[in-house]
Structure 1
Amino acid sequence: MNHPCPCCGCLTFPVAQEEAIAYICPVCYWENDVFLGGPDEASDENHGITLNKARANFQKFGACCIEMLPYVRPPKQEEKNL
């Protein structure tokens, strides 16, 4: 069973978030940052944006940041976290 991405919520993480070191979600392209202290802390792995900003960006245009838009894909049916 896959685990939810902290940014888009899709079930794309192969292991729990705490164990998914540097895993990149194919749906939103958020790189999991296990050292992130909270959703409002800038992430070195994600161009200095916060998780909350990445979530807002995903809702707005479908990627954690505009530069990653060419790399994302829609979630597969089994990845949708309803």
Structure 2
Amino acid sequence: MGERGAFEICSVCFWEDDGQDDHDTDVVRGGPNGALSLTVARRNFDLHGACEEAHVHNVRPPEPDEIPVDGSARPLPEDAKVRRVKRMRY
């Protein structure tokens, strides 16, 4: 992706970059990402391979340099609701 916050859609996860970052990941901004916080979108990516299960057909597998170094999921707030499903295989 190019410039941060330029509202580009990530081809790996389908999140639209609205400038949200680690300092406000639990905030639901509405806008292009609807009712998703960045925290929930990241967990959905870990579970489904996209920021929302409905977008798995819009994404491609990540390149090695696009995978977080620690490879771990970020913790979810206790009130977050995420359904567990079998992860897509590419």
- TM normalised by structure 1 equals 0.67
Aligned residues: 67
Does residue 46 in structure 1 map to residue 61 in structure 2?
Answer: no
| Relative contact order, higher structure (CA 8 A, sep 6+) | 1
Q: What CA distance in whole angstroms lies between the structure 1 residues aligned with 2:52 and 2:37?
A: 10
Q: Which has the larger radius of gyration?
A: 2
Does residue 34 in structure 1 map to residue 22 in structure 2?
Answer: no
Deviating beyond 2 angstroms after TM superposition, the runs of 4 or more aligned structure 1 residues are 34-37, 76-82
Following superposition, the deviation at residue 78 of structure 1 comes to: 5.0
Task: Report sequence identity in percent.
Answer: 33
Q: What CA distance in whole angstroms lies between the structure 2 residues aligned with 1:74 and 1:23?
A: 18
Instruction: Structure 2 unaligned segments of length 5 or more: list them.
Output: 70-90
Taking only aligned residues, the RMSD between alpha carbons, in angstroms, comes to 2.2
- Whether the 8 Å contact between 2:8 and 2:16 is mirrored in structure 1 is yes
- TM normalised by structure 2 equals 0.61
